[in-house]
Structure 1
Amino acid sequence: MRHRKIFCLKRPFLLAALLAALLAAICMLSLINGGLKVGWNPTSISLGRYTRLDYEYDDSPEKLSNCSAILWGEREALEQAKLLTVSKDFRKRIRVPDQFYVNASKDCRKFKSSRKYLTFPLSQEEEDFPLAYAMVVHHKVQNFERLLRAIYAPQNVYCIHVDLKASPSFLAAVSAVVSCFPNVFLAGRRERVVYAGWSRVQADLNCMAELLTTGVAWRYFINLCGQDFPLKTNLEMVRALQALNGANSMESEKIPKEKRWRVERVHHEVDGHIQALGTAKESPPFQLPIMSGNAYILVTRGFVRSVLEDQRILALIDWAKDTYSPDEFLWATIQRMPGVPGSTWASSKYDLSDVNALAKLVKWQWHEGEQSSTDAVYPPCQGIHIRGICVYGSGDLQWLVKQRHLFANKFDTDEEAVAIYCLEKYLRQRVLAQLQEVNVWYSTFM
């Protein structure tokens, strides 16, 4: 006993580290245990003219599918999840009205605690590498709030652009959630976003400009929409972005012939729709080679500053405003411009497809197929398709978590609730494992 006492007295730092590790583990276990409930608890709240039950989560209401078994691809678990997903009663019970978020966030401390938001940086590595997000949303508050919770960290900064055509109840709910976080804010300038129109790009530009003025020395910019969800923890994202060593990651390829009309013809907006004028468009400024890509990018702070200040890019932006779906070529073209931070050469040798870019994984219906097919890019969708895009189901999760992308699209709590709940639980468990790893290292070397 005497020797053990002397050891403890001589190693106060080791004792403190062990206690810190224990407290952190207890904290994270609390996050995990409270993090996945589907259903209504016995506490009711007033929602205008009617009353509904408060929304929380429960690991196994109605024998909610075994997430671990789903991630292992076990057939019985997947079949149970599918039956639950198509149940009208289940869908009705998990749907959360907009007014809930307005009421729940009146007490921000309780809201963040009950929803298990991470309110402290989980490692020095993450604290030293803050990220900036732009989120363009217009409906489905539940999707938005779950996405925010999944990517939230206090060292990051988040700009939320709410579409001008969003309902008043949606705007009120998002505003209420945002008000609880000092590093989350609504975009000061909002756009009425038109599909395939310039307004989609302008929404991101608005957030880019505001994010640069926040005072947070963020390293990378990530843009999202409300039906995205992460495939990696914040620490895993930080390490993936550090590995880029100052490069950007996005789709950027030679524009295919079938898409050239988008930049060769003039278009204009009519009552919220895009209509071709049929007139030939002038050549791009500086004879820039127009590339093909998509709206979602992972780019450095320097890239964002260049987008807002570089005269060549400003000329390209002005030229692109009357084209069709400019978000699908603008960023990809800037990425190949000489001198832009994080960019690559314009040579086709540097082309990068969406499958290989880190930004976001999307399953397009016409690229799906069995692995034996030479034309298939990815396996068949296990959820449903909306406008040719897979809304991921539980059966997609085993494949999704093996991908290198940081995010995937689409997820929908109305259509495939179990998939998003199980992915959320998977990420929380990885956060816990990482925290334990960090504390073991800390205890070893203190």
Structure 2
Amino acid sequence: MSSKIYFDCRKFIIILFMICIPYYLYFLKFSYFLISEHTLDKTYINTTSFRMIEISNTSRRNNRIKYYRKSLNKVSDMIQTQIKEPKMQKQSITKTFFSRSRNIPIFNCSRLFESITILDVSLYVRFLNKTPIITPQNYMESTRNCSSFITDRGYITHHLTVEERNFPIAFSILMYKDVDQVERLLRTIYRPQNIYCIHVDSKTDDALYSAIQNVSHCFDNVFVLNKRVNVKWGEMSVLEPELLCMKELLTRNKRWKYFINLTGQEFPLKTNYELVKILQAYNGSNDVETSVREFTTRCVNKTSAPHGIRVTKGAVHVAVSRGFVEYAIYDQRAHDILTWMNKSCYIPDEAFFTTLNHNPHLGVPGAYKGHPETTVMANSRKPYLARYKNRQRISIYHSTCRGKWVRGMCVYGHKDLPVLRGRRELFANKFHLHTFPVAYGCMEELIFNRTRDEFQGKRKFNASWYSTFDFVTNKVE
């Protein structure tokens, strides 16, 4: 009798197990799916628990759904959280990224942006005392713990908007001094979906190189070129690091849409969201400075120029499509032109990009079909917006410099802030952190506060003006 009861109990347990196991496997699979989808974005992985697990569901209008979960066993809690997703998402990201102010001490940047103001000497001395210089050794020590470094320095490690996530940008940064200024530039433009290539001039000391390398090791999408070029003005060495970065960026990431090359002495005039909206408005066209009338004696034997090109002059700093970069790196015609320029032209770095972009018969993606000469901004044909450069010589760029002139370029001071705030270019050249630290700090505050306001829905940006130019509508497809 007892054996029969034992048999019946065992049978009952087996049946119960067979009934329950499918449900267990179903919920286990569901839980694993949610986790595995999010592990691609390591920004949110916590070693003790999963907080703010995120999945991407393209079938639901690409919404980013946030979950709050302390235990893998509470699947029902995760499902309930979906109902509160929009409100919870913004609260969580705001608390994480925008809880700390980026305001500089002592000075009121808002007032400095409104009008030209003379700094009080005593306040300026107090400001300098409160702002110690960060040395390469400081960076090598602080980056031993990358998690703390990223948090302490206030990097934005979230894409913030769907548009930014789906429109990654590639950057190169050429530097030769001031690791603290370069790191602060990187922090301002950093987003996890973008990718960054840094070149350190071979003339710099090893401590600076090691410091920026240590910074790059804290991010998967930031790298420093192993090859260090001795960059000399007016020679091909100016262009070589750009081409090296372009090739590496193409190889390392297949998703980025546009390329912007920077120096360590530049700073954005737009937030990352605004950059994305402007580049989307460009719709594959390239923003490249050009002059035909100023290019008269730069090249010898111009009649022998390859592929029937008309050589033009322009700044090496550009905002160009991925297709342009692929052409410059991989197309044989681009190689032929570069080789010829290196042998035949003075200051070849100022000719290569602009010549590719203004000879439409070459078929470079996004190249301009119209007359190449760059115009003033008020002329909708072909302004140059990739960079704001206030040049000392009288030209279409010249305006009052309230900082100081250095080799014909304005280095911006705090009195230039009212002008910088309203400029429509993407970046400004140039800034010297240690000469005008208030101006640099206020620009950081401006971009950070605009980013915060965009995310919180307090600031809107309409990029339609950038889609009206002839270089946008009259381009090589």
TM-score tier after normalising by the smaller chain length: 0.7 to 0.9
Decide which of 203, 220, 225 is 2:263's aligned counterpart: 225
Q: Summarize the Cα distance change of 1:23–1:12 in structure 2 as closer, same or farther, 3 Å threshold.
A: closer
Distance in 2 (CA, whole Å) between partners of 1:206 and 1:399 is 35
The structural deviation recorded for 1:299 is: 0.5
2:54 is the counterpart of 1:18: no
Distance in 1 (CA, whole Å) between partners of 2:268 and 2:435 is 18
Partner of 2:118: 79
Distance in 2 (CA, whole Å) between partners of 1:260 and 1:390 is 26
2:441 is the counterpart of 1:405: no
SS in 1 for 2:252: coil
Contact 1:82 1:394 in 2 (8 A): no
Letter of the 1:311 counterpart: Q
Partner of 1:70: 112
Letter of the 1:242 counterpart: Q
The structural deviation recorded for 1:92 is: 9.8
Moved more, 19-28 or 334-343: 19-28
The structural deviation recorded for 1:434 is: 0.8
Partner of 1:202: 240
Contact 1:354 1:360 in 2 (8 A): no
Partner of 2:470: none
Contact 2:328 2:335 in 1 (8 A): yes
Q: What per-residue deviation string (whole Å, max 9, x for no partner) do you get for residues 84-126 of structure 1?
A: 66x5992895322221111111111111101100111111110
Contact 1:302 1:341 in 2 (8 A): yes
2:313 is the counterpart of 1:292: yes
Distance in 1 (CA, whole Å) between partners of 2:396 and 2:284 is 32
Q: Which has the higher contact order (CA 8 A, sep 6+)?
A: 1
Distance in 1 (CA, whole Å) between partners of 2:168 and 2:97 is 21
Q: Summarize the Cα distance change of 1:255–1:320 in structure 2 as closer, same or farther, 3 Å threshold.
A: farther
Q: Summarize the Cα distance change of 1:225–1:83 in structure 2 as closer, same or farther, 3 Å threshold.
A: farther
2:281 is the counterpart of 1:239: no
Partner of 1:275: none
SS in 2 for 1:308: helix
Contact 2:143 2:215 in 1 (8 A): yes
Partner of 1:179: 217
- TM-score calculated relative to the size of structure 2: 0.74
Letter of the 1:391 counterpart: V
Q: Summarize the Cα distance change of 1:439–1:20 in structure 2 as closer, same or farther, 3 Å threshold.
A: farther
SS in 2 for 1:401: helix
1:127-142 equivalent positions in 2, closer than 5 A: 127-142=165-180
The structural deviation recorded for 1:260 is: 2.5
Distance in 2 (CA, whole Å) between partners of 1:157 and 1:393 is 30
SS in 2 for 1:261: coil
Letter of the 1:343 counterpart: A
- TM-score calculated relative to the size of structure 1: 0.78
The structural deviation recorded for 1:144 is: 0.4
1:303-318 equivalent positions in 2, closer than 5 A: 303-318=324-339
Partner of 2:353: 331
Partner of 1:435: 455
Partner of 1:253: 291
2:374 is the counterpart of 1:342: no
2:298 is the counterpart of 1:262: yes
Partner of 2:249: 211
Q: How many residues align?
A: 373
The structural deviation recorded for 1:179 is: 1.1
Gaps of 5+ in 2: 1-79, 378-382, 461-477
Show structure 1 runs of 4+ deviating over 6 A. Answer: none
1:49-128 equivalent positions in 2, closer than 5 A: 59-60=104-105, 64-73=106-115, 75=116, 78-80=117-119, 87=125, 90=128, 94-128=132-166
Letter of the 1:390 counterpart: C
Partner of 1:391: 411
**What is the root-mean-square deviation of aligned Cα atoms in Å?**
2.4
SS in 2 for 1:299: strand
The structural deviation recorded for 1:79 is: 1.2
Partner of 1:158: 196
Contact 2:134 2:180 in 1 (8 A): yes
Letter of the 1:284 counterpart: A
The structural deviation recorded for 1:15 is: 2.9
Contact 2:171 2:260 in 1 (8 A): yes
Q: Summarize the Cα distance change of 1:238–1:81 in structure 2 as closer, same or farther, 3 Å threshold.
A: farther
Q: Summarize the Cα distance change of 1:299–1:84 in structure 2 as closer, same or farther, 3 Å threshold.
A: farther
Q: Summarize the Cα distance change of 1:199–1:365 in structure 2 as closer, same or farther, 3 Å threshold.
A: same
